[in-house]
Amino acid sequence: MTTEIIIVFILIMLLIISIMILHRTKDTGNAAYADDFERLKDDISETKARLSQIAENQTTSQKNLTDSLMTMAKNQYDALNDMEDKIDETLDKSSKDQIESLGKMQNQIRETLDKSSKNQTESLEKMENEIQETLDKMSKNQTDSLFGMKKEITETLEKL
């Protein structure tokens, strides 16, 4: 959301700069226009670089989030496996009734482990898909905005 606000702000600033250049060009002639046009090209290049950096930062954040979630899932899995091992040791030492009772607990833990692992995997896949969709939309919006700006500049140049 913040990235989109920054992008919109930058695009509005570029539009204002373009309008100022057009207005000044009418008054000062082609020499001032050439300087303003060069500054506008520099501003567009700078904006492209900023947008690329934002996309790169978001990709890094997505990777870090995915890594953290995978580590958490592994730690939970290991903890549940440790619990299962302890239950197995207790089963060896217990009476028949205790063995049956602990066996039921072991099955519940296995079911919980299976459900937890499945839910975490689904959640991670869903989050990864959402992040990828967001990045794809942002990339498309950025590309569309830049092509729109290029078209406006081309039209302005043709009018001049």
Spell out the SS3 assignment of 124-148: HHHHHHHHHHHHHHHHHHHHHHHHH
pLDDT in tens, 52-88: 888 888 888 889 988 998 999 899 989 888 888 888 7
Q: Which pLDDT score, from 0 to 100, does residue 99 have?
A: 67
Q: Which pLDDT score is estimated for 71?
A: 92
| Whole-number Å distance between alpha carbons of 13 and 151 | 17
pLDDT at 120: 80
From the centroid of its chain, how far is CA 92? 50
pLDDT at 145: 78
| Burial status of residue 85 (CB atoms within 10 A of its CB: 0-12, 13-18, 19 or more) | exposed
Question: pLDDT value at position 33?
Answer: 61
Residue/partner pairs of 102-109 with CB below 8 Å, 24 or more apart:
109/80, 109/83, 109/84
Q: Which parts of the chain sit beneath pLDDT 50?
A: none
Q: 38: which 2 tokens?
A: 């060069």
Domain boundaries defined on the chain = 2-159
Q: By C-alpha distance, which of 6, 30, 140 is closest to 14?
A: 6
